[in-house]
């Protein structure tokens, strides 16, 4: 048996741009992708903290150090610039390994630059705590 586990996430990144005319995807700063061990064309689930929208797309590598988080294509209609998003990827983990699995949790500052990378989250931990 396998379990679907959180593999990596970028927590509360700010949307820097939205582009409806693009074919699709989410453009993300290459440094953030690297910190979360994410690769181009990988499926990513997106959770909009500001309006509750949830959707899936794939990643496109953006300029390293730019802080880019651009939602493209039809999904651009689901967010606004300045919204906070959670970007999450998942993986299938065999049952024995699932008990010790640890995700990569990438925290960002107000400019979408890495402020910390963790391998855990705790219950009741509030944003900014």
Q: Which of 58, 90, 100, 115 is catalytic?
A: 58
To which residue do tokens 């996430």 refer? 9
Q: Which of 22, 25, 47, 100 is catalytic?
A: 25
- Identify whether the C-beta of residue 109 lies closer than 8 Å to the C-beta of residue 12: no
Helix (H, G, I), strand (E, B) or coil at 34: helix
Judged on CB neighbours under 10 Å (0-12, 13-18, 19+), 9 is buried
- Identify whether the C-beta of residue 36 lies closer than 8 Å to the C-beta of residue 102: no
Annotated active-site residue 22? The verdict is no
- How far CA 113 is from CA of 8, 50, 96, 106, 116, in Å, comes to 16, 20, 35, 10, 9
Annotated active-site residue 58? The verdict is yes
Residues marked active site are found at 25, 58
């Amino acid at each position: 048996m396998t379990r679907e586990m959180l593999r990596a996430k970028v927590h509360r990144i700010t949307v820097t741009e939205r582009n409806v005319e693009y074919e699709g995807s989410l453009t993300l700063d290459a440094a953030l992708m690297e910190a979360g061990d994410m690769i181009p064309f990988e499926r990513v689930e997106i959770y909009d903290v500001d309006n509750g929208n949830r959707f899936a797309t794939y990643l496109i590598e953006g300029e390293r150090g730019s802080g880019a988080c651009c939602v493209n294509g039809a999904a651009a209609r689901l967010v606004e610039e300045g919204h906070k998003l959670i970007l999450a990827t998942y993986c299938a983990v065999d049952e024995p390994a699932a008990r010790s699995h640890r995700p990569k949790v990438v925290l960002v500052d107000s400019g979408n630059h890495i402020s910390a990378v963790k391998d855990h989250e705790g219950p009741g931990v509030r944003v900014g705590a």
